[in-house]
Amino acid sequence: MSATERTYIMIKPDGVQRNLVGKIIARFEERGYKLIALKFVQPTKEHLEKHYADLSSKPFFPGLIKYMVSGPVVAMVWQGIDAVKTGRAMLGTTNPLQSPIGSIRGDYAISVGRNICHGSDSVESAEKEIALWFPEGVIQWTSVLESWII
Ligand code: RTP
């Protein structure tokens, strides 16, 4: 387990349109994760087909792409201990109806086809997804908070 583990978290179009961006970001900040990168993106169909390539044979794939292309998403990288696994736990299960109360999907969603957020499912997936969504790289920065506290 590494303190520099990174995960890719994305607020899907329904999360943006339901004004849940601030609440979702707050959960990661409050849990103790460090925001590494964030941007608002209107993804193309081709980009989403790459992101969801593993699901291309699933019957829900065309509907998934249509949903994901329907509006802008918030693309983020979060860093901290066990970021991938804990990030997924914070999101909840794929189907919000089975997602525990207290998880993002369990608190804010009821439909598998409109489940608000995405989180990488492994460290390897996170690396691929971060490269796909942030080909420009991320800003390297260090907190100088301690020097502000006098
Ligand atoms: P995500 O990749 O979006 O974080 O979701 P996940 O790992 O929890 O679930 P995955 O199986 O990778 O499915 C990706 C997204 O496809 C939609 N989906 N629809 N209609 C259906 O039965 C169905 N199943 C999955 C969801 O939006 C899911 O998040």
Does the structure show a pLDDT above 60 at 150? no
**DSSP 3-state percent helix, strand, coil across the chain (nearest 5):** 45, 20, 35
* 39 annotated to a ligand binding site: no
Does the structure show a pLDDT above 90 at 146? no
Does the structure show a pLDDT above 90 at 148? no
Atom of ligand 1 nearest to the CA of 68: 27
Q: 26 burial class (0-12, 13-18, 19+ CB within 10 angstroms)?
A: exposed
Q: What is the pLDDT of residues 36-91, one digit of tens each?
A: 999 999 999 999 999 999 999 999 999 999 999 999 999 999 999 999 999 999 99
pLDDT, position 73: 98
Does the structure show a pLDDT above 90 at 145? no
Do residues 52 and 98 touch, judged by C-beta distance below 8 A? Answer: no
pLDDT, position 60: 98
> What is the dihedral angle through the alpha carbons of 77, 29, 121, 61, rounded to the nearest 10 degrees?
-80
97 three-class SS: helix
pLDDT, position 109: 98
Mean pLDDT of 2-13: 96
* 95 annotated to a ligand binding site: no
Query: How far does residue 140's CA lie from ligand 1's centre (Å)?
Result: 31
pLDDT, position 110: 98
For the chain, give the longest Cα–Cα distance: 59
Q: What is the pLDDT of residues 108-137, one digit of tens each?
A: 999 999 999 999 999 999 999 999 999 999
pLDDT, position 149: 65
Which residues, in sequence order, are CB contacts of 140 under 8 Å at separation 6+? none
Residue 147 in tokens? 């020097």
pLDDT, position 45: 98
Does any ligand 1 atom lie closer than 6 A to the CB of residue 113?
yes
Does any ligand 1 atom lie closer than 6 A to the CB of residue 121?
yes
Categorize the per-residue pLDDT at 2 as very low, low, confident or very high, splitting at 50, 70 and 90.
Answer: confident
